[in-house]
Structure 1
Amino acid sequence: MAAGERSPLFSLPTVVVDRRELVPRLRALCRFLARALRLSRAHTVDFYARDVWQQLVGAAVSPDSVLLTALKPRGSRQTRPWDVDEFSGIFCENSNKLVDLESFLDAAKAFSLPYLGICTSLRQLIGVLKGMEEEETDKKMRTDEFMNSKKSHEVLVMSQLVNCLANYCGIKQVIDLGSGKGYLSSFLSLHYDLKVYGIDSSSINTSGATERNRKLKKYWKAYQNHSGGGSSRDPMSEREKQRTAQYNMMCKETVSGKHLSSNISSPCQDQVIKSGSPSETNVHPVVSAMIGTDKETCLHLAGQPEPEEDELCQHAFSFLKILPTNAVETASSSKSFHQGDLCGEEKEQKKTVNIKAKADKLNESNVYSPLTSYITAKTELHDIVTDLEDSMLVGLHTCGDLAPTTLRLFASKPEIKAVCSVGCCYHLLSEEFENTAEEFTQETWGFPMCQYLREEAWCCGRNARMSACLALERVAVSQGLSPESLFYRAVLQVIIKECYGVTRSDGRVGKVFSKSSSFPDYVRKSLKKLGLDESKLSDSCIMDYYEKYRCRMNELEAFNMLKVVLAPCIETLILLDRLCYLTEQDDVGWCGLVQSFDPVKSPRCYAVVALKK
């Protein structure tokens, strides 16, 4: 291969790319889930009303044994993880109840993505895309000044992967489907200088994203002016580290309301930089609210009238250091700093003119282009993106059907050369074979996508898809669940059934638990919300139900633990379905599943990545 020539697609790292190797794994997983999904399909609301534990588990497995062993580390298996024959005795052949807890836990682990041997290493993939050895993410990047820690983690990792894919394919245009508030889109555009179109079905999200773009540009210019235009990434000196530490401490104190100035509005409102002189406001023009209208993204700092204020500003928003210098036009130094010969009134007039001119320039172009549109598999992207060229599709936690729609658009549009999709909200997926008795005119479905599962008419069901959203790693870190709210709801269902004769109700209680002072208070508020006469029951009657089932709370907690353990297997089924679909497309050169995020920080952590031939 000639020097500088890009490696061919077949050199990309992977464990399984051939459909003939994926389908056997998928088939074995389906054989396990065909028996195990009964646990996930059972609704916790009906746990006591329908005696779910006795129906699905029974006496062979005790609740205490589940609670003691479910989260314990399990040894490595010597057999092929996709061989399901050894798990045939997990469930009773006659009653289909769970009878072998240890084998169940082993199978659930073996059929989860980390142990199936089908995932591609993120570091290895980025290294190959860059044409070099494995390389760690730039740890100097910081975005937590204007995002919460979870979103910051996701944006930093995914933006690096998207940029590497775009460079590998030689494209500069990115289309972010379900872009939401535009955090990923803005970062891709500002830091990596990509041309990004963010498409979201909510006009509220896109209008908010437009405002955030304006602020990002504005504060980038302010930062450039106050730091002299420098964006050095040299290691910080000890003095600089002290200033940064002081800044971080001030951030924490400000969020808790200790240092909020009297003339700063609510933390949930956007702030506007005043055009007056420093003596007229105690809010530094760089240390005002950065971005967003929600509590997690607003940052408000009172200015510190110290001689070293510029030094603080130089490090306060460290994320600005990583933006390209051509992201926005920097004002000339003559306009910003050489006004010593002007009187105070002339300075104010000149400042007003300059601010207006800068604002006009900022409005002429966008950091990225937020667009409002509802996307389906039949959407013509040319109708939305008028200058559509060779590009790639990305989606960061696209809800429900939007994730499979993203893959279908990638497969059907020749101008889309790559895709990087992280889905979420599996319970919002449409299933083709969920309601076979009803007739639907829907042409495409969120699940299943691949030929094998469609031939098998595979169906998970909403409750199982809801269970797939449970976060095993988070539960493991916290060492268990907090089932009291689930217990309240399950006992309430017994009361509704026995006292009101309602065996099935479509009503939802919602977040009554957090607003209730006791179980009787919870029951009364819930009954009122469901349109039932709460005066019919006395407090003593309500407490009798509570006492009756309190001794069986461990059953409910253990059952939910079984659902948590099974959750990764259901997610594996959904993601393998998408991966198999991509392997069925003739023009797909490479595809893989990549664990992109820390599963504790971001439970929906797997990206479906694919490149055209």
Structure 2
Amino acid sequence: VIDIGSGKGYLSSFLSMQYNLKVYGIDSSNTNTDGAHERNRKLKKHWRAYQSRGRANLKSQRLEKANDRPVESEIKCKAINEKPLNNGSGLQSRDQVTIQDSVPASGFTEMATSETSKHTEVDLVAQTQSHESKLSEEVLNILNVLPADAVEAFSSSQCNCGELCEEEKAQRKMASLKAKASKSSESNLYFPLTSCITAETELSDIITDLEDCMMVGLHTCGDLAANTLRIFTAKPEIKAVCSVGCCYHLLSEQFENQEDCPEEAWGFPMCQYLKDKGWCCGRNARMSACLALERVAVGQMLPTESLFYRAVLQVIIEEIYGVTKSDRHVGKTFSKSSSFIDYVRKSLKKLELDDSKLPDSCIMDYYEKYKHRMNELEAFNMLKVVLAPCIEVLILLDRLCYLKEQDNIAWSGLVKLFDPVKSPRCYAVIALKKQPC
């Protein structure tokens, strides 16, 4: 596995230790790479303790869920338990009902058994004792979500993935479990590396023993998400990709300020359709795409006061200093300021502007002048929040369409991986390469 934009290795080290995978984590910052080495060293010392604690917590959560089951499920369980279980077919029938009743509504959720509390407890204890087996089953569950022809249609085997016999499924499952159990000398390895990844990057120059692999990127920033997909399509040894992008405001756009950026590998648009249309979002729209509608919907409102401070500061900078464009950033000055005057002075110093020419009374005059328009600003920002998913999905569909345009892609799609309240950038672009016959 190649983790692009790996940062301090949170994803890389987890994939390596939890699933015994060989993982290369590539980040452009030496500081992050050094931090990843140190974090991984400490994590290895305590990993088994974390696993034991996780299994205990998992068992406790499942028992709680089983005790809180709806009345309807309890009635269904009672009906199942009252059936005679004298033969193997009866047991098989009961298992089938259990699986059908446990199909999740969305995502890959935990399966609950259709048993009474007594049977449930026995089953859960058995499940937690075979944690490694469960991990392999989860991998198979993920594969089952993909279309039947996503992998098999272009492989040497003519068997349809959706029509595998039970015996063959069992054989594949057993092979996966044996592979996990073997834990070869090369398993559980994580290699943090430092390199700046662009669309022209040759991975073989960074990873000397590069072999068949997949690329992942968790919250890859700006153009890095687009370049990850370009590298995936161009390199035959990369068989799959799972990319979750973020920081849309840092994307480069082909039809925005073309004279400033002569580069060819733009972050947006990627697909030929939008290129032909000359589509341009602009920075303001891309900034809006970063907002989190789901968080606002559950009551995590926008920071109206800090946004108001920033808006009035913009007016001051333009009218007093004549500055309309700057590459410098104010950052998180609001949280470190005791008042609006303090905020303005700290911000001006960050922007390297002389604040001595601006008396406190002048600063407060600006504040009083625009204070009554704070409601307008709040309404405007709420409109941006409502439109945010439209802009984000445009960017994501552009990436998906780019993959659809490639001849070497067997299957590609957008998959919602996370709870958007916890992680607003929750959609992954996933693709699989065609396999040679």
Per the normalisation by structure 2, the TM-score is 0.65
How has the CA–CA distance of structure 1 residues 515 and 577 changed in structure 2, closer, same or farther, with 3 Å as cutoff?
same
How has the CA–CA distance of structure 1 residues 451 and 323 changed in structure 2, closer, same or farther, with 3 Å as cutoff?
same
Deviation at 1:528, TM superposition (A): 4.2
How has the CA–CA distance of structure 1 residues 213 and 528 changed in structure 2, closer, same or farther, with 3 Å as cutoff?
closer
Q: Once structures 1 and 2 are overlaid, which stretch shifts more, 213-222 or 569-578?
A: 213-222
Distance in 2 (CA, whole Å) between partners of 1:557 and 1:564 is 11
Deviation at 1:571, TM superposition (A): 0.6
Q: Residue 106 of structure 1 aligns with which residue?
A: none
Amino acid of the residue matched to residue 175 of structure 1? I
Structure 1 residue 181 corresponds to structure 2 residue 8? yes
Structure 1 residue 511 corresponds to structure 2 residue 332? yes
How many residue pairs are counted as aligned between the two chains? Answer: 317
Distance in 2 (CA, whole Å) between partners of 1:479 and 1:186 is 32
Q: Contact 2:270–2:402 (CA<8 Å) still a contact in 1? A: yes
Deviation at 1:559, TM superposition (A): 0.6
How has the CA–CA distance of structure 1 residues 384 and 501 changed in structure 2, closer, same or farther, with 3 Å as cutoff?
closer
Structure 1 residue 432 corresponds to structure 2 residue 259? no
Q: Residue 410 of structure 2 aligns with which residue?
A: 589
What secondary structure is seen at the aligned counterpart in 2 of 1:387?
coil
CA deviations on 1:270-310 (whole Å, 9 max, x unpaired) are xxxxxxxxxxxxxxxxxxxxxxxxxxxxxxxxxxxxxxxxx
Q: Residue 554 of structure 1 aligns with which residue?
A: 375
What secondary structure is seen at the aligned counterpart in 2 of 1:211?
helix
Q: Contact 1:180–1:206 (CA<8 Å) still a contact in 2? A: yes
Q: Residue 579 of structure 1 aligns with which residue?
A: 400
Q: Once structures 1 and 2 are overlaid, which stretch shifts more, 545-554 or 603-612?
A: 545-554
How has the CA–CA distance of structure 1 residues 541 and 367 changed in structure 2, closer, same or farther, with 3 Å as cutoff?
same
What secondary structure is seen at the aligned counterpart in 2 of 1:368?
strand
Deviation at 1:394, TM superposition (A): 0.7
Which of the numbers 563, 566, 590 marks the counterpart of 2:387?
Answer: 566
Q: Residue 467 of structure 1 aligns with which residue?
A: 288
Distance in 2 (CA, whole Å) between partners of 1:400 and 1:434 is 15
Amino acid of the residue matched to residue 190 of structure 1? M
**How do 1:74-223 residues align onto structure 2 when only pairs under 5 Å count?**
174-220=1-47
Q: Contact 2:20–2:188 (CA<8 Å) still a contact in 1? A: no
What secondary structure is seen at the aligned counterpart in 1 of 2:298?
helix
Deviation at 1:429, TM superposition (A): 1.3
**How do 1:376-525 residues align onto structure 2 when only pairs under 5 Å count?**
376-438=198-260, 440=262, 442-478=263-299, 480-498=301-319, 500=320, 502-506=322-326, 507-525=328-346
Amino acid of the residue matched to residue 180 of structure 1? G
When the two chains are superposed, the root-mean-square deviation of aligned CA atoms in Å is 3.2
Q: Residue 169 of structure 1 aligns with which residue?
A: none
Per the normalisation by structure 1, the TM-score is 0.47
How has the CA–CA distance of structure 1 residues 543 and 399 changed in structure 2, closer, same or farther, with 3 Å as cutoff?
same
Distance in 2 (CA, whole Å) between partners of 1:391 and 1:452 is 30
Q: Contact 1:179–1:198 (CA<8 Å) still a contact in 2? A: yes
Deviation at 1:593, TM superposition (A): 0.3
Q: Contact 1:214–1:366 (CA<8 Å) still a contact in 2? A: no
Amino acid of the residue matched to residue 187 of structure 1? F
How has the CA–CA distance of structure 1 residues 549 and 580 changed in structure 2, closer, same or farther, with 3 Å as cutoff?
same
Distance in 2 (CA, whole Å) between partners of 1:376 and 1:528 is 34
Distance in 2 (CA, whole Å) between partners of 1:515 and 1:602 is 25
Distance in 2 (CA, whole Å) between partners of 1:223 and 1:612 is 35
Distance in 1 (CA, whole Å) between partners of 2:258 and 2:228 is 26
Q: Contact 2:271–2:398 (CA<8 Å) still a contact in 1? A: yes
Q: Contact 2:410–2:432 (CA<8 Å) still a contact in 1? A: yes
How has the CA–CA distance of structure 1 residues 234 and 372 changed in structure 2, closer, same or farther, with 3 Å as cutoff?
closer
Distance in 2 (CA, whole Å) between partners of 1:235 and 1:365 is 27
Q: Residue 600 of structure 1 aligns with which residue?
A: 421
Q: Contact 1:400–1:429 (CA<8 Å) still a contact in 2? A: yes
Q: Residue 542 of structure 1 aligns with which residue?
A: 363
Amino acid of the residue matched to residue 494 of structure 1? V
Distance in 2 (CA, whole Å) between partners of 1:478 and 1:592 is 31
Distance in 1 (CA, whole Å) between partners of 2:25 and 2:198 is 15
Identity of counterpart residues, as a percentage?
A: 75
Which of the numbers 421, 424, 430 marks the counterpart of 1:609?
Answer: 430
Distance in 2 (CA, whole Å) between partners of 1:574 and 1:234 is 37
How has the CA–CA distance of structure 1 residues 590 and 222 changed in structure 2, closer, same or farther, with 3 Å as cutoff?
closer
Amino acid of the residue matched to residue 211 of structure 2? E
Distance in 2 (CA, whole Å) between partners of 1:572 and 1:551 is 35
How has the CA–CA distance of structure 1 residues 527 and 409 changed in structure 2, closer, same or farther, with 3 Å as cutoff?
closer
Structure 1 residue 368 corresponds to structure 2 residue 159? no
Distance in 2 (CA, whole Å) between partners of 1:389 and 1:597 is 30
How has the CA–CA distance of structure 1 residues 386 and 579 changed in structure 2, closer, same or farther, with 3 Å as cutoff?
same
What secondary structure is seen at the aligned counterpart in 1 of 2:39?
helix
Distance in 1 (CA, whole Å) between partners of 2:311 and 2:191 is 47
What secondary structure is seen at the aligned counterpart in 2 of 1:478?
coil
How has the CA–CA distance of structure 1 residues 387 and 534 changed in structure 2, closer, same or farther, with 3 Å as cutoff?
closer
Amino acid of the residue matched to residue 198 of structure 2? T
Deviation at 1:609, TM superposition (A): 0.6
Distance in 2 (CA, whole Å) between partners of 1:234 and 1:608 is 29
Q: Contact 1:213–1:367 (CA<8 Å) still a contact in 2? A: no
How has the CA–CA distance of structure 1 residues 504 and 411 changed in structure 2, closer, same or farther, with 3 Å as cutoff?
same
Q: Contact 2:22–2:188 (CA<8 Å) still a contact in 1? A: no
How has the CA–CA distance of structure 1 residues 322 and 386 changed in structure 2, closer, same or farther, with 3 Å as cutoff?
farther
**How do 1:351-362 residues align onto structure 2 when only pairs under 5 Å count?**
none
How has the CA–CA distance of structure 1 residues 562 and 533 changed in structure 2, closer, same or farther, with 3 Å as cutoff?
same
Q: Which structure dedicates a bigger proportion of its chain to helix?
A: 2
Structure 2 gaps, min length 5: 65-127, 134-185
Q: Contact 1:175–1:196 (CA<8 Å) still a contact in 2? A: yes
Q: Residue 104 of structure 2 aligns with which residue?
A: none
Distance in 2 (CA, whole Å) between partners of 1:323 and 1:217 is 18
- Which of 1 and 2 has higher RCO (CA within 8 Å, sep 6+)? 1
Amino acid of the residue matched to residue 209 of structure 2? D
